[in-house]
Structure 1
Amino acid sequence: MPIAPLSSRSVARPRHSLLVIALSGLVLAGCGSGTGTSGDDNPYDLIEAGTIRSATQTGQPPFAYAEDSGKSAGFIVDVTDEAAKRLGLMVDYKATTVTGSLTGLTAGQFDLASSGLGVTAERQKSVSFTKPLFWSTVVVLTTKSSKISTFDGFNDKRVGVVTGSSQEAQLPVKIPKADPVRFQTQNAAVSQLLNGQIDAFLVGGPDATEFMKQYSGLRQAASAPVDHPTSMAVPKNHTAFLKALDNEIASMVKDGTYANLYRKYFSTQPEPELIAAWPALAAQFPGAK
């Protein structure tokens, strides 16, 4: 997907009075303070009552990307939109980087990070995560001109990784002698890979699949399972909001909405770890192991 400029989009149906709208304007005036107006009009302590201010990305397909129109799209975005609709909330998407989204959560700039974030112990020190939305793999993406087909084969090679991504932490484990080249976005890494500036790109499995669909010159050199799920993140102090999101995700799993969204973006069956997290998926994906 092409890189798009910063974008925002409102979804769902607001159900608040003119008084709440006026109060929301006052909250916006203090943007960045990280303090929402709690109470009956803002039970989730959002920065702006009635609106989820969500960080997302423009180049992380299929989880989060920008359409040609600039609108946010992707699996995690669709899950966010559906949860917001069920909660009667709006969503205001702001595009940023992985590092920017996590930093923005801790700084009170965002209520949510709607992108494919790996749940790691280090990240859990500063933010809280929803229940699992996906279970991924880690892939070495390279060009078809390369004959290397193992992780170890890329030792002493220039391997790209996105700053702040879970793959950045996995690189010294999977390819300990790699020469790391860090990028702010996946699109930038893929561009340099296609141009021959790096030898490979360490990235999540679904992301790699999407890039191989877009660029015929790319191929998967090696793949391995990961030990953590992919989820959305909220600030540490958003306990009520996190519980509400988890409840709506559970409802989506139960009524089949989650399975429909999953099939929209992924051609592979859910990993066993995801089925274990959401047992109801076993009947909805009978071929999953």
Structure 2
Amino acid sequence: MATSTIRWLRRYLVISLCCLLLAIGCGSNNSGTGGTGDTGGTKTLTVGTEPAFAPFEFKGTNGELQGFSIDLMNAIAKSAGFTVNFQSLPFDGLIPALQGKTIDAAISSMTITKERSQTVDFSRPYFKAGLAIAVRSDNQDITNFVSLENKRIAVQIGTTGAEEAKKVAGAKISSFDSAPLALQELKNGNVDAVINDAPVTLYAIKNANLSGIKVVGQLLTEEFYGIATAKNSPNLALINQGIETILGDNTYAQIYKKWFNAEPPKLPEKSPFAN
């Protein structure tokens, strides 16, 4: 074989090998930790939610995720320049999933508490809420927190409502996987009251065929919902950036009015338990 031909073949093989290595290197950069990846240059966050808490997170008749929190997360992503991959999980599985880094964030009407803030980091608050007591419309005995003593109380597992119910002396507490199930138990007469987030309870009474139920007394607590991330997650700053933007450009107010037909209250600028 001629010397010039050998040189040409060597050169061809070297160039081909370099192209192959370059292609392999580029392909390996598309994956990320905890479900985070890049699609066409845009960062994608896997966000956990439990779609059983209307009007915040729920599935519509077509199976699509809907609700205030879903609209809000999509708006945050749009303003901060990332995309969202929602993943449905049980509420009490969200924090373990964050700790295990199988999801990047969680938005599921999660109240910012001191205990939760020891295991996850929260965004600045995105919703002001509080716990309310629901009873059957013909109930005249339960009018406030004190009158819950020795009563049968239904709650959603893993929520602040469940924690509040533990403070009631002599109460018999029944836990359910979702707020609608707890409220249905009340409607069926199997419990005397439900302690749950006020906006969810009022929405369910109005829209989920739960007539015959009323809310009594004053709100038991003042709470704020936050978007949770793993401790020291680099995604927290990105999420806070998005929240700040939509609060400032009226997008937040538009979403709030869509779901609650009211002007939104003023929100704190940071989590009450932020470092």
Q: TM-score, normalised by structure 1?
A: 0.76
Bigger-Rg structure (1/2): 2
1:156 counterpart SS class: coil
Measured after TM superposition, the shift of residue 265 of structure 1 is 1.3
Q: Note if 1:216 corresponds to 2:211.
A: yes
Q: How many residues align?
A: 241
CA contact (8 A) 2:106 2:229 kept: yes
Structure 1 stretches of 4+ moved >6 Å: 18-21
CA contact (8 A) 2:136 2:213 kept: yes
Work out the CA distance in 1 between the residues paired with 2:204 and 2:258.
17
Unpaired segments of 5 or more residues in structure 2?
1-22, 271-275
Residue 5 of structure 2: aligned partner: none
Quote the RMSD (CA, aligned, Å).
2.4
1:142 counterpart SS class: strand
Measured after TM superposition, the shift of residue 191 of structure 1 is 2.1
1:226 counterpart SS class: coil
Measured after TM superposition, the shift of residue 207 of structure 1 is 0.5
CA offset digits 1:125-168 (Å, max 9, x no partner): 11111101111121011211222222222211110111111112
Give 1:234's match in structure 2, choosing from 215, 223, 229: 229
Alpha-carbon distance change, 21 to 64 in structure 1, aligned in 2, over 3 angstroms: farther
Give 1:90's match in structure 2, choosing from 78, 83, 86: 83
Residue 141 of structure 1: aligned partner: 134
Work out the CA distance in 2 between the residues paired with 1:99 and 1:142.
25
Residue 250 of structure 2: aligned partner: 256
Alpha-carbon distance change, 226 to 112 in structure 1, aligned in 2, over 3 angstroms: same
Residue 109 of structure 2: aligned partner: 116
Work out the CA distance in 2 between the residues paired with 1:90 and 1:121.
29
Give 2:162's match in structure 1, choosing from 157, 163, 168: 168
Residue 8 of structure 2: aligned partner: none
CA contact (8 A) 1:155 1:179 kept: no
Residue 196 of structure 1: aligned partner: 189
Work out the CA distance in 2 between the residues paired with 1:222 and 1:21.
61
Work out the CA distance in 2 between the residues paired with 1:83 and 1:20.
32
CA offset digits 1:48-80 (Å, max 9, x no partner): 333211111221112111111111111111111
Unpaired segments of 5 or more residues in structure 1?
1-17, 28-34, 37-45, 279-289
Give 1:246's match in structure 2, choosing from 227, 240, 243: 240
Amino acid at match of 2:205: M
Amino acid at match of 1:131: R
